[in-house]
Structure 1
């Protein structure tokens, strides 16, 4: 019902737009003078207010109503079970909600039945109040803006103000979300380091990673939180992936932008970009079923031992996955280099290869570096391919033919394991914060390199 109501609000806004525009047109004709704002501006002003009133009422009542129902029912459950804890109270509430919604609950008793009845009544009341408030708010906004249409009404200015403030709110939400993520990482990281008495050297330079080995005894062993094996595996697999993706992607971009005719470009470029739409789990399955056994059998044929799960298999497939990102972005950047630069170089006697190497690529360097940095970031953050093709064991080795793991795989393993999320959050968030800092430094270094070697043209 709520989703249908969400879709109904834009329909009401469209109706308000048409009605307000017609009234503004009729008013202009009847008054025999020009309006301050065009009829479509009056329609837009009405539609915007209908959206604000309707969606605002829907979102506020949904969030506030859900929180109120949760609080009231939890209070009733805690009064009925004073000797139990929040975990048991949440279980009772979950069973009652499932029963009220027609699903099968794990357990039923008189308390759960009472809570289920109360939930059904409160939730039904909330739904009807939400419907009435949403439709009523949209109708009130449409009527208010309709009555406010006059010759002097500044609908265009008011509409632009609403849109500008809406964009500012969205930008603020994006910034605050980023700040919230960073502070949550910092908070959990500080708590993790408190648990190991701030022995940073063991975390940064330790070679054993098993942070949950001592949590059941109430303590975390600082000797088993070394991240060197994780970052060694991450860098190894990323390096292999970029050795595949950067040359192939960059050379493909150069060919498509400067050598291929329009017919070849129209076919090859979309085909390459199709690779970007393949889910990573498919790449991981391909790596585990096809590439890894092929490397193992090839190694056995020439007398080299290759593990069934290896960094090489994961890196090769990850490189194939990253090729379309680097190729597409680099192609767009190279294509955007002014043709006059190419013509000037060719007119001075340079060959086409020399023009690309000494004129086009230096001019496109910032975009190419950005594409490579994006590819590196995607490789560092990849999880499924590593899980399926490289393993999950924190193995410290410089041999790409052995099984290795990455930081992101260990974060997933910590959060989805049998240990309580609150206990595993510390090591997982600390790994995330370390990875965030490493990626940030990498981007800063890339910007410095671009600024140093950048070629500027008038």
Structure 2
């Protein structure tokens, strides 16, 4: 029996515990629920919790411990000549045996006998069972895989039976506690509170773990490359140089990447901000409810399109359009039909990215303008101001802090964009100031440095963590400042 079967049984026991706990509470109160300290549903929830939580903990912990014991016993049972091989080769053999065990479980007795008699047919049999092997198996692997499969099945069966027994014990114990004075609601609320605390703790620990991993690997990188060379370097060339060269680890200048990141985000914001803001003003003050119900969802659809699709759009449509248009324009002016805008350029990436950012600017700004107290709007109109004057002199000044916060949040999203930049601006780390030439960003280089079968022991890979912590600090500063402005705005009118 698989783990999923035992999981289903435990869930069914939990459902039964809820029904029985609720029914028993009603029976104890003789149908008069007012005699109970808690509503019958709380008794049912208490019974379900006692049957589900301990059993699921036993199942998860037991499977983890059992899997580790089975893996350890398999490694210890490998032949001496295998244990004498390098660790990397031992791991390959170990994982191969693990994969074979899944196929051996599906084999019939006759197929097992055929595989043991003729090892060359084992690979074909396992392939027919959906377990392809990278190389020919060795004779000892068949017995090892069969033992591993048997041990794993025994562990699953033992842990599954134990977890089902724990679920039944929890259900019967919960049913025995049902009484008129039992505080089932308090117990359930304590469990819910503990779940909320655990969820918050997991989120916090995840953030701490991410930051910790970035910092630890960044420290390793700066042990090889001086921080000044990284933060103030103007050349990005992380390739290995010739032996004996002073730049044996290449050059890791951040300035070209940082400039490209800020430049592309700035172009995107310059285009997205007025369009998104004007769209928000129209939807909040001038559009009828029918038009608003159509336009607002259509704008927000843009935010749901995957960024890779925007990248294709830039690569196939926008980039060639800008290139050909610049050639035609330059030819009409000078007679020399040479394009001065590259298909992959800062302008292309910024323009396409702005299309993705428009929904964020418009939606956030619309919510902020709408949140301005109605009394300010009505007071301005009551004094004889027009709608445009009310918007310019009352609503926009009142909503300005919130709009600025929304723009900063949108800018942090633009800084973290990757796929659009890869396809629309290229991967060349150029240090230049023309919006018509290709540049790249920090996120693109993080992907480049971590692409491929690499080990995290060289500056070429460790630099990705230094880039990551730099980008993290930049976006964190933007987000904190944006939240500060938004909070200040909210306190002004609440």
Q: TM-score, normalised by structure 2?
A: 0.85
Alignment partner of 1:240 is 2:267: yes
**Which deviations, in whole Å up to 9, do the C-alpha atoms of 1:413-455 show, x marking residues without a partner?**
1111343244354111111011111112223444565678888
Q: For residue 133 of structure 2, what is the aligned residue in structure 1?
A: 105
Q: For residue 175 of structure 1, what is the aligned residue in structure 2?
A: 204
**Which deviations, in whole Å up to 9, do the C-alpha atoms of 1:111-134 show, x marking residues without a partner?**
433442233123222322343233
Name which of 388, 394, 399 aligns with 1:359. Answer: 394
**Which deviations, in whole Å up to 9, do the C-alpha atoms of 1:322-375 show, x marking residues without a partner?**
221222222222222221221112222332223223332343344433432332
Q: For residue 125 of structure 1, what is the aligned residue in structure 2?
A: 154
**Which deviations, in whole Å up to 9, do the C-alpha atoms of 1:269-313 show, x marking residues without a partner?**
111111122111111111111111111111111124222321211
Alignment partner of 1:383 is 2:399: no
Alignment partner of 1:338 is 2:339: no
Tell me: CA distance 1:433–1:367, structure 2 relative to 1, closer, same or farther (3 Å): same
RMSD: 2.7
Instruction: Single out whichever of 234-243 and 26-35 deviates more from structure 2.
Output: 26-35
Q: For residue 426 of structure 1, what is the aligned residue in structure 2?
A: 462
Q: For residue 316 of structure 2, what is the aligned residue in structure 1?
A: 289
**Which deviations, in whole Å up to 9, do the C-alpha atoms of 1:388-411 show, x marking residues without a partner?**
221112122211211211111111
Q: Is the 8 A contact 2:409 2:478 kept in 1?
A: no
Alpha-carbon shift at residue 10 of structure 1 (Å)? 4.1
Name which of 199, 204, 227 aligns with 1:200. Answer: 227
Alignment map for 1:402-413 (pairs within 5 Å): 402-413=437-448
Q: For residue 37 of structure 1, what is the aligned residue in structure 2?
A: 38
CA–CA distance in 1 between the matches of 2:290 and 2:366?
16
CA–CA distance in 1 between the matches of 2:32 and 2:242?
80
Alignment partner of 1:73 is 2:74: yes
Alignment partner of 1:227 is 2:234: no
Instruction: Single out whichever of 394-403 and 47-56 deviates more from structure 2.
Output: 47-56
Alignment partner of 1:441 is 2:477: yes
**Which deviations, in whole Å up to 9, do the C-alpha atoms of 1:4-59 show, x marking residues without a partner?**
65455444333321211111001001799711111111111112223312332232
Q: Is the 8 A contact 1:96 1:115 kept in 2?
A: yes
Tell me: CA distance 1:455–1:33, structure 2 relative to 1, closer, same or farther (3 Å): closer
Instruction: Single out whichever of 77-86 and 397-406 deviates more from structure 2.
Output: 77-86
**Which deviations, in whole Å up to 9, do the C-alpha atoms of 1:115-172 show, x marking residues without a partner?**
4223312322232234323333322222211111111111011111111111111111
Q: Is the 8 A contact 1:214 1:221 kept in 2?
A: yes
Q: Is the 8 A contact 1:249 1:323 kept in 2?
A: yes
Q: For residue 399 of structure 1, what is the aligned residue in structure 2?
A: 434
Alpha-carbon shift at residue 92 of structure 1 (Å)? 1.4
Q: Is the 8 A contact 2:323 2:340 kept in 1?
A: yes
**Any idea what SS the aligned residue of 2:223 has?**
helix
Q: Is the 8 A contact 2:268 2:354 kept in 1?
A: yes
Q: For residue 254 of structure 1, what is the aligned residue in structure 2?
A: 281
CA–CA distance in 2 between the matches of 1:218 and 1:126?
57
Gaps spanning 5+ residues in structure 1: where?
A: none
Q: Is the 8 A contact 1:93 1:115 kept in 2?
A: no
Q: For residue 307 of structure 1, what is the aligned residue in structure 2?
A: 342
**Which deviations, in whole Å up to 9, do the C-alpha atoms of 1:181-240 show, x marking residues without a partner?**
1111110000000012xx221101111223342599999746601111111111111111
CA–CA distance in 2 between the matches of 1:243 and 1:143?
66
Q: Is the 8 A contact 1:362 1:455 kept in 2?
A: no
Tell me: CA distance 1:382–1:37, structure 2 relative to 1, closer, same or farther (3 Å): same
CA–CA distance in 2 between the matches of 1:91 and 1:217?
36
Tell me: CA distance 1:448–1:374, structure 2 relative to 1, closer, same or farther (3 Å): closer
Q: For residue 53 of structure 1, what is the aligned residue in structure 2?
A: 54
CA–CA distance in 2 between the matches of 1:153 and 1:242?
60
Instruction: Single out whichever of 43-52 and 111-120 deviates more from structure 2.
Output: 111-120
Higher Cα Rg, which structure: 2
